[in-house]
Amino acid sequence: MNRAETEAPPESPPLARRIVQEDGVVVEHENFQGDYRLLRLQAPAITPLVQPGQFLHLKAPHAAESLLRRPFSIYQAADGVVSILYKDIGRGTRAMTFLRPGETLNLLGPLGTGYPLEDRGTFPVLVAGGYGMAALYLLAKRHPNRGIAFFGGATPGDILCVPEFEALGWEVRVTTIDGGLGMQGKVTVAIDAWLAEIDETVRPEFYACGPNAMLKAVGDHALARDALAWLSMDRNMGCGVGACLTCVQKLHTEEGGWTWARVCREGPVFETRRILWDEEKAT
């Protein structure tokens, strides 16, 4: 039976309603790999509330002229400590590189609607580009099933966390644009190869985080297989709680039109069928 024809895609799970503002204390801040840093923060109020795919909105100290907070996917959350992986890409993240253990920074979180964890009897397929693997780690840990993870990056230095995912029981396949690690090419090359290998009875369900072009490609693969694809959308963000309407994303409506959704509140994770991509013509 073709499930996509008989069932509407399930809605995103209800928002974890509680949002907490808390001063996080830096317990560890170190080079993780290459240009990537790991920042671990003691945040006992936020940590137990975290669901896979949610994010933290933090006020970087040492950056007085930067008014806004910066959003980061939550990598790990356990024992009162949340962690993020980040890279110095601008004013806010540059200021963060100076953080030392013992310093505090103000956190809002956990924010947004993350990945669903329901066991639908499907085979979970994780797809990460950029440092999207950070956003997928908690899902890999808490998902009721084990499956396969595809990590794509420009160079071997961009491929993070492979041992961590393997330790959780996931098969990890790597692609790099320069061919320095794993298959050469975009991450979809490896997904195509895997889809050609597997038995027709395997019903994949995709969970992805990365650049929008990669997310769209993953969504298209899912549509072609009548599979679900949960995509974590990346948007510039303002308030992080749904007030400023900066991070809006177009979604299809049931009536055939479109509406804006807030990536920080209704998102960041949306099922691919709901997303109206920028390339499509809005009506």
Partner 1 sequence: MTPVQAAPDLRVNLGGIAMKNPVMVASGTFGYGPEYADLVDLNQLGAMVVKGIHLEPTRGNETPRTFETASGLLNAIGLPNPGFDGFVKTYMPFLRQYDVPVIVNIWGRTVDEYAEVARRFNDVDGVHGLEINVSCPNIKEGSALFGTDLDMFRRVVDAVRARTRLPVIPKLAPNVGDIRAFACAAEACGANAISLINSFPALAIDAETRRPELANVTGGLSGPAIKPIALKLVWEAARAVSIPVVGIGGIFNATDAIEFLIAGADAVAIGTANFTHPGTAMETVRGIAEYLDRHGLARVGDLVGTLAA
Q: Which residues lie near partner 1 (CB under 8 A)? A: 17-19, 21, 59, 64-69, 91, 106, 108, 235-236, 238-239, 241-246, 248, 259-260, 265
In angstroms, what is the minimal distance from the CB of 112 to partner 1? 13
Distance set, CA 105 to CA 60, 265, 266 (Å):
6, 22, 26
Tokens of 108: 């809002």
Tokens of 102: 């013992």
Closest to partner 1 by CB, 69 or 221: 69
Closest to partner 1 by CB, 81 or 247: 247
Which own/partner contact pairs does 42-45 have at CB distance under 8 Å and 24+ positions apart?
42/80, 42/81, 43/80, 43/81, 43/82, 43/107, 43/109, 44/80, 45/20
In angstroms, what is the minimal distance from the CB of 13 to partner 1? 18
Distance set, CA 43 to CA 77, 136, 203 (Å):
9, 20, 38
Residue with structure tokens 């160079």?
Answer: 155
In angstroms, what is the minimal distance from the CB of 18 to partner 1? 6
Closest to partner 1 by CB, 155 or 253: 253
In angstroms, what is the minimal distance from the CB of 70 to partner 1? 10
Distance set, CA 240 to CA 8, 59, 142, 225, 266 (Å):
29, 12, 25, 34, 11
Closest to partner 1 by CB, 69 or 143: 69
Closest to partner 1 by CB, 21 or 155: 21
Closest to partner 1 by CB, 26 or 239: 239
Q: Can you point out the beta strands (E) in the chain? A: 20-33, 36-42, 55-58, 70-73, 76-78, 81-87, 104-111, 123-129, 148-153, 171-176, 183-184, 204-209, 229-232, 248-252, 258-262, 269-271
In angstroms, what is the minimal distance from the CB of 259 to partner 1? 8
- Residues 6+ away with beta carbon under 8 Å from 140: 126, 149, 165, 168, 170
In angstroms, what is the minimal distance from the CB of 152 to partner 1? 25
Closest to partner 1 by CB, 3 or 91: 91
In angstroms, what is the minimal distance from the CB of 156 to partner 1? 27
Q: List phi, psi (to 5°) of 230.
A: -100, 115
